[in-house]
Structure 1
Amino acid sequence: MELRQLEYFVAVAEEAGFTRAAARLHVAQPGVSAQIRQLEREVGEELFDRSGRTVRLTAVGEAVLPYARAALAAVDGMRLVVDEFTGLLRGRVVMGGVSAPSVLDLPGMLSGFHERHPAVEISLVETDPETLVDGLQSGRLDFGLLGLGGALPPGVEVQVVVDQALVAAVHHDHELAAGRSITVAGLKGLPLISLPVGTGLRTVLEEVCAQAGFAPHVAFEASEPYVLGQLAGRGLGVAILPESAVAAAAAELHVLDITEPSMRGRMGVVWREGGPKSPAARAFIEHARRHLPSL
């Protein structure tokens, strides 16, 4: 019995078909069928029912599947332990997040890790905050970057890496362009331009407006902070955005401080409490936390 046979067996079971399993494994379909036949001869029983339109596990196949998965997991674990002892990291790290301000230098952080651990693959997944946190808790994601608003759920650790003032920005022809600041109460009834619901900036905006006794009137939403300024620069409303995002449309914008109270936008890197099991992911988190600021 070979590990390759077990790998093929698990793939066919999970994909419910030999063709899909072959595509997943990047091998020819006849090769998968041959290896499964060989495995069935060795165990003395058929593992799949091939009589229908889809391939299904037999009762014996159902009973064998957990042991096949456990054997493959054990081999992966053995390889990881050996890699740790030899100092060679392999594997894949999945980082979820949103667009990051230039002050964080994420490209520099990523390139520095790649230079030290070239055998580790890194996947960057752009997602919304709720999905990101869920991905951390379920293990689909190893690490994340998101705007901070309300409290994070238990089991998620955070390191604040950005803390900057939120400002209001309008076109130079806007009636507010004659002033230098605006109170939170002064935002009532104005068409605002903001990040979507659930983001850290939007949560802060909604909380301070609620404290002032009103709900903000958000006329336009955009998922990228710099786009908020561009929309305000076209005269579409009052953008609420981080100071660092003003530069993208600075020539078209008049910026006002927000007072009574002031608002701040924070971003943090987040990871599952206790860290991921993968040595590669643990090393990535340690590297990122050293490279990025701690505020």
Structure 2
Amino acid sequence: MELRQLEYLIAVAEEANFTRAAERIRVAQPAVSAQIARLERELGERLLDRTQRRVRLTAAGEAVLPFARAALGAVADIRTAVDELGDLVRGSVSIGTVTAHNVDMPSLLAKFHRDHPAVEITLSTDSSDELIDGVRSGRLDLAIASVGSAEVPAGLQVEATTDEVIDAAVGREDPWWGRRSVGVDELADRPLIALPAGSGIRSRLDEACAAAGVSVRVALEASTPLELVDLAAHGLGVAIVPRSVARSRTHIHPVAVTPELRGRLVLAWRARGPVSPAARVLIALAREHVRVGGGA
């Protein structure tokens, strides 16, 4: 029994067609047929039903298929183990982030690239829900995403980068200038300035409003908290931002929201399943760079 026979069997089973399977694995179709026939003779059972237009697994084929996949998976794990043993880091890594966060991504990626120049790096942005799904599915190796207070999404490990109170912030001419706090329900009466839907702070705002049965109007969106407070300073509405940002400008007045809102961003990576050497190094490096406090 040869590994290529198992590879051919998997391809035919998934494509339900010898020709498409051969094209997928870039082997001549007669070679695929011959190798699977040899495997069937060795096992003494027909693995594929070739009598229909679509090739289907027989009962024996159904029984063999998961073991074939496990065998090829074990070979891939062996290669990964050898790479790790030889301190060989290569391949690619994929990182996803929300639109605003407090991790110095340029310096993080620059250090990783200096140490491992052969690794291809992909960086993208998305909503927190999509990022969590991407890490869980393996599409992403690492993500910076927003989760609820003390929440750890199923199947993932997380490390906090930011855990901070969220305030309303207003300009000098705003009627809320000088107020110490406002209720979530009062936000419904004002035009709000917030991060895009799906971002960390916006998700916490939406959750709090839903819990209170309040419908709010987001009049303006911007990609960073600093842009939000600049818009509020010009009298365009009430910015929903981290407390550290609300208190960082003299022309902005922070107003606490009750019940308290908190913004929590985390690094997230898979808790189980194979992790490439490159991704393992990136995750360790990213964890060294995170800090709690003062972000988005």
Instruction: Report the TM-score when normalising by structure 1.
Output: 0.71
Instruction: Specify the alignment match of 2:112 in structure 1.
Output: 113
- C-alpha contact (below 8 Å) 1:93/1:142 kept by paired residues: yes
Distance 1:155 1:49, change over 3 A: closer
Instruction: Specify the alignment match of 2:31 in structure 1.
Output: 35
Instruction: Specify the alignment match of 2:265 in structure 1.
Output: 267
Take 1:219 and 1:281, find their aligned partners in 2: how far apart are those partners?
38
Q: How many residues align?
A: 281
| SS of residue in 1 equivalent to 2:77 | helix
Take 1:21 and 1:230, find their aligned partners in 2: how far apart are those partners?
57
Take 1:275 and 1:39, find their aligned partners in 2: how far apart are those partners?
31
AA at the equivalent of 1:147: S
Kindly provide the CA deviation profile for residues 71-100 of structure 1, in whole angstroms up to 9, marking residues without a partner as x. Answer: 211211211121121111245444333124
1:289 CA drift (Å): 0.7
Take 1:99 and 1:207, find their aligned partners in 2: how far apart are those partners?
19
Instruction: Specify the alignment match of 1:61 in structure 2.
Output: 61
Take 1:16 and 1:232, find their aligned partners in 2: how far apart are those partners?
59
Kindly provide the CA deviation profile for residues 198-235 of structure 1, in whole angstroms up to 9, marking residues without a partner as x. Answer: 64313443566689x67251334758446756876997
- C-alpha contact (below 8 Å) 1:225/1:241 kept by paired residues: no
1:160 CA drift (Å): 2.0
Instruction: Specify the alignment match of 1:152 in structure 2.
Output: 151
Is there any run of 5+ residues in structure 2 with no aligned partner, and where?
Answer: none
Do residues 257 (structure 1) and 254 (structure 2) align? yes
Instruction: Specify the alignment match of 1:219 in structure 2.
Output: 218
Kindly provide the CA deviation profile for residues 44-87 of structure 1, in whole angstroms up to 9, marking residues without a partner as x. Answer: 36644455554433444323322321221121121112112111
- C-alpha contact (below 8 Å) 1:194/1:218 kept by paired residues: no
- C-alpha contact (below 8 Å) 1:196/1:221 kept by paired residues: no
AA at the equivalent of 1:161: T
AA at the equivalent of 1:193: I
Take 2:12 and 2:230, find their aligned partners in 1: how far apart are those partners?
50
Structure 1 segment 18-29 matched on structure 2, within 5 A:
18=18, 21=21, 24-25=24-25, 27=26
1:286 CA drift (Å): 0.8
Distance 1:20 1:144, change over 3 A: farther
1:113 CA drift (Å): 1.9
1:237 CA drift (Å): 3.9
Take 1:235 and 1:19, find their aligned partners in 2: how far apart are those partners?
66
Take 1:7 and 1:197, find their aligned partners in 2: how far apart are those partners?
44
| SS of residue in 1 equivalent to 2:189 | coil
Distance 1:11 1:181, change over 3 A: farther
Measured on the aligned residues, the alpha-carbon RMSD in Å equals 4.1
- C-alpha contact (below 8 Å) 1:18/1:32 kept by paired residues: no
How many percent identity over aligned positions? 44
Instruction: Report the TM-score when normalising by structure 2.
Output: 0.71
Distance 1:47 1:208, change over 3 A: closer
- C-alpha contact (below 8 Å) 1:149/1:199 kept by paired residues: no
Match of 2:182 among 165, 171, 184: 184
Take 2:243 and 2:30, find their aligned partners in 1: how far apart are those partners?
62
Do residues 9 (structure 1) and 5 (structure 2) align? no
